[in-house]
Amino acid sequence: MIAFIRGVVQAVSLDSVVIDLGGIGIAATCTSTTALGLRVGDRTELLTSLIVREDGWTLYAFTDAAERSVFEQVQTVTGIGPRIALAVLSTLTPDELRRAIAHEDLNALVKIPGIGRKGAQRLVLELKDKLGPISGGASSLGMDARADWHSSVTAGLVSLGWSVREAEQAADGVAHLAIAPADGEPADIGTLLRAALQSLDRG
């Protein structure tokens, strides 16, 4: 098993990263939140999980052990593979998932792309008491690194090649999505970044 990769960030996209390990470029799939924290040219260390299938090997990268653990645990649920497991982490932090499972909050779980109500029920049934205690992490767009969504989205766009001015204007343009409506939740960083990118593409 490849437990981690350490090297210089060679390239970053919305859902992947390439790390230069002394002349060998290792590509890894990741969440948009992980990608936002990486800058081309910086040295980094990411924890990894290798999925081996008949049609190829895919390396998944994470910023901490909690994310990797949740990624691997979620795949023990019937009918869930790495793609949906990564979607879980793109939508909910590990603590948010633990909280949703503990409280049987199906409404929170069905927000995960690829998870319907029956899938949410399976998550609750098969992960109950398996994810460990809630560590007290902040919720989406809460008090953690994702709280300052504007700077995160701006930095993400700059790392993808846009100028600071263009990135800031695009972030301003999706501000309405970051404010929770009366009957819902604010958009997460990944959604905000994709919306900002779409506005730049249209421009």
Quote the pLDDT of residue 139.
42
Quote the pLDDT of residue 189.
77
Quote the pLDDT of residue 21.
93
Task: Kindly state the percentage of the chain with pLDDT values over 90.
Answer: 46
pLDDT band of 32, cuts 50, 70, 90: confident
- Phi–psi pair at 59, nearest 5 degrees: -100, 130
Q: Once rounded to an integer, what is the mean pLDDT over residues 108-115?
A: 92
pTM over 0.85: no
pLDDT band of 138, cuts 50, 70, 90: very low
Topology (CATH level 3) of domain 149-202 = Helicase, Ruva Protein; domain 3 (1.10.8)
DSSP letter at 181? P
Q: What is the CATH number of domain 65-127?
A: 1.10.150.20
How far apart are alpha carbons 71 and 62 in whole angstroms? 9
Q: Once rounded to an integer, what is the mean pLDDT over residues 111-120?
A: 92
> What is the overall mean pLDDT for the chain?
84
Question: 46 near 4, Cβ under 8 Å?
Answer: yes
> What number of other Cβ atoms are within 10 A of residue 22's Cβ?
7
- pLDDT per residue over 140-188, tens digit each? 444 343 446 777 788 778 777 788 788 888 888 888 777 655 445 666 7
Question: 4-62 belongs to which CATH class?
Answer: mainly beta
> What number of other Cβ atoms are within 10 A of residue 107's Cβ?
10
What are the sequence ranges of the domains in the chain? 4-62, 65-127, 149-202
- pLDDT per residue over 85-99, tens digit each? 999 998 888 989 999
